[in-house]
Amino acid sequence: MTAATATTTAPATGTTFDTAAVKAQFPFLTRLIDGRPIHYLDSGNTSQKPRAVIDAMTAFTETSYAPINRSAYRMAAEATEAYEGARAKVAGFVNAGHPDEIIFTKNATEALNLVAQSWGRANLGAGDVVVLTHLEHHANIVPWHQLAAERGIELRWVPLTSDGQLDLSGLAHLLDGATVFSFSAMSNVLGTLTPVAELCAAAHDAGALAVVDACQYVPHNPTDVQAWGADFAAFSSHKMCGPSGIGALWGRAELLDATPPFLGGGNMIADVRLDGYTPAPVPAKFEAGTPPITEAVGFGAAVDFLEGLGMDAVRAHEVELTRYALTTLTDRFGDDLTIHGPLDLDVRGGVLSFAFRDVHPHDVSQVLDQANVCVRAGHHCAKPLMRLLGVAATARASLYLYNDEADVDALADGLDSATDIFGF
């Protein structure tokens, strides 16, 4: 999965927001360490939070925090309204058919577990086939492994091409007889964008459910779950400028209605008797216990923030910055630096996993840290993909709406320091 030169076939699209002004809205990014700015290139891991999100959560906590869905006083009704308002915002952001198609979860991982545990247990038995891809991270692998161990289902894997895209040549064969096809919309390791609508159609042609792990995709691209034709999609607030502790599962209404509850407890019931219980309707059915209320408000504020910038503009910004990063790193380091994954900007996002000479990623990250350049070093919770790449770990720089060319330049300068220390 290497290539020496970046192919940049995507059309040149100008940044349609002022990056400096955007960056200034993120308090974390205005912090100086050793008198120098932070170059945060780890948004594929988790994103920083804009002032608008921080303020929305603070204001809600100070003036409006109260229980939801269970008390009759006005403040509780106001809190419930804020919580449900956030659900509506998130639903609109991904073009869900109805706000109730959004289930608030702890994160995308829990959303995928909900599908595997609740839908899967109700619908999958010995011999049933679940198709995954070699791009998946652990959250879209382990829940299916758990189900496989419990139910004896068969897992099949869509392989990759040499440049880290899905190899779809045998897809129809893999999907033959499958019940579920669960795949990433965007790889958190290689940045690969997958043809989601095409994959959903292929799943349906085979009679399989289409589950989309959209956790890396939604923060960086305009998303329309209905245009995808998907059945379920999972994503997380913390990767899209919102707080951690809350994520979402979108599901088609009739599927959610037919899926048994996930966790049991308060809020998810219509009635509880000594001899059993009746679940509440969707979405409460899947939201047992007191949810992350303030975090939901923050999630909604993050959606407002992103919509204010426009997701087309966010994607355009990242395409341009990724182009700059690919060109800069290739020009400065040539064959000494290998970027994993596709180089065609039409099919990749701003996630750059790379190998630098034979300096271990952990050491690369350590040296970059001296220059306040934050990258992730490790297996990125995708150990099967790491093994396919033939590496134990990679260094990964991931770009977001608040990054600029100075961040990329700092990365390249930091790599020069690594060369100095490791003595090539």
Partner 1 sequence: MPGLEDLYREIILDHYRSPRNRGELPSPPAQVAEGHNPLCGDEIVVYLQLDGDTVSDVKVGGQGCSISQSSASMMTQAITGKSLAEVRSLVRRFKSMMSIETDDDGDETAGASDTDIALGDLEALQGVVKFPVRIKCATLAWNTLLDAVDRPAG
Residues binding partner 1: what is the number (CB under 8 A)? 19
State which residue, 99 or 378, has the beta carbon closest to partner 1.
378
Nearer to partner 1, 176 or 363 (CB): 363
- Annotated catalytic residue: which of 215, 241, 374, 381? 381
**Smallest distance, partner 1 to C-beta of residue 34, A:** 6
* Chain residues 340-369 in contact with partner 1, contact rule CB under 8 A: 360-363, 366-367
DSSP bridge partners of 178: 129
Q: Tell me the one-letter amino acid at 256.
A: L
CA distance 417 to 84: 50
> 324-336 in b/e burial notation, b at 16+ Cβ within 10 A?
bbbebbbeebeee
Residue 421 interacts with partner 1 (CB under 8 A): yes or no: yes
- Between β-strands 232-236 and 247-251, what pairing exists: parallel, antiparallel or unpaired? antiparallel
**Per-residue exposure over 62-91, b if at least 16 CB sit within 10 Å of its own CB, e if not:** eeebbebbeeeeeeeebbbebbbebbbbbb
User: Is 241 a residue of the active site?
Assistant: no
DSSP letter for 281, please.
P
Closest approach, Cβ 38 to partner 1, in A, equals: 13
Of residues 14-33, those binding partner 1 (CB under 8 A): 33
Residue 33 vs 75, nearer CB to partner 1 = 33
CB of 359 to partner 1, least distance (A): 8
- Site stretch for partner 1 (CB under 8 A), options 50-58, 71-79, 133-141, 386-394: 386-394
Of residues 58, 260, 370, 406, which one binds partner 1 by CB under 8 A?
A: 370
Give the length of the chain.
424
Please choose, out of 237-245, 284-292, 343-351, 378-386, the segment that lies near partner 1 by the rule CB under 8 A. 378-386
Binding-site string for partner 1 from residue 227 to residue 266, where x marks contact by CB under 8 A and - marks none: ----------------------------------------
Q: Which of 313, 337, 393, 401 binds partner 1 (CB under 8 A)?
A: 393
User: Do 188 and 382 contact (CB within 8 A), yes or no?
Assistant: yes
Dist CA 188 CA 183 (whole Å): 12
Beta carbons within 10 angstroms of residue 362's beta carbon = 12
The mark string for 34-53 relative to partner 1 (x by CB under 8 A, - otherwise) is: x-------------------
How, if at all, do strands 269-273 and 276-279 pair?
A: antiparallel
Q: Which is nearer to partner 1, 23 or 376 (CB)?
A: 376
- According to the binding rule CB under 8 A, does residue 423 interact with partner 1? yes
Looking at beta carbons only, is 319 or 393 nearer to partner 1?
A: 393
Least distance CB 376 / partner 1 (angstroms): 10
Which DSSP category does 359 fall into?
B
Question: Closer CB to partner 1, residue 279 or residue 384?
Answer: 384
**Residue 59 in contact with partner 1, rule: CB under 8 A:** no
Cα–Cα nearest to 396, from 24, 46, 22: 46
CB-nearer residue toward partner 1: 49 or 396: 396
Does 392 sit near partner 1 (CB under 8 A)?
yes
Burial class (CB in 10 A: 0-12, 13-18, 19+), 345: buried
Per-residue tokens: 125: 């038995």
- Closest contact distance (angstroms) between CB of 393 and partner 1 is 4
Cβ atoms of 352 and 377 within 8 Å: the answer is no
- Residue 422 in the binding site for partner 1 (CB under 8 A): yes
Binding of partner 1 at residue 384 (CB under 8 A)? no
Cβ proximity to partner 1, 301 vs 386, nearer residue? 386
Does 378 engage in binding with partner 1 (CB under 8 A)?
yes
Compute the C-alpha angle 84/85/90, nearest 5°: 95
Other CB atoms within 10 A of residue 143 CB: 21
**In 145-294, at which residue ranges do the beta strands (DSSP E only) sit?**
154-158, 178-184, 209-213, 232-236, 247-251, 269-273, 276-279
- Least distance to partner 1 from the beta carbon of 394, Å? 9
H-type alpha helices, 120-160: 121-123, 142-151
Q: What are phi and psi of 129, to 5 degrees?
A: -110, 130
How far apart are the C-alpha atoms of 415 and 325, rounded to whole Å?
13
Instruction: Pick one of 319, 351, 377, 397: the residue that binds partner 1 (CB under 8 A).
Output: 377
Across 214-273, where does the E strand assignment appear?
A: 232-236, 247-251, 269-273
Least Å distance, CB 375 to partner 1, is 12
- Known catalytic residues? 381
Binding interface with partner 1 (CB under 8 A): 33-34, 360-363, 366-367, 370, 377-379, 383, 386, 392-393, 421-423
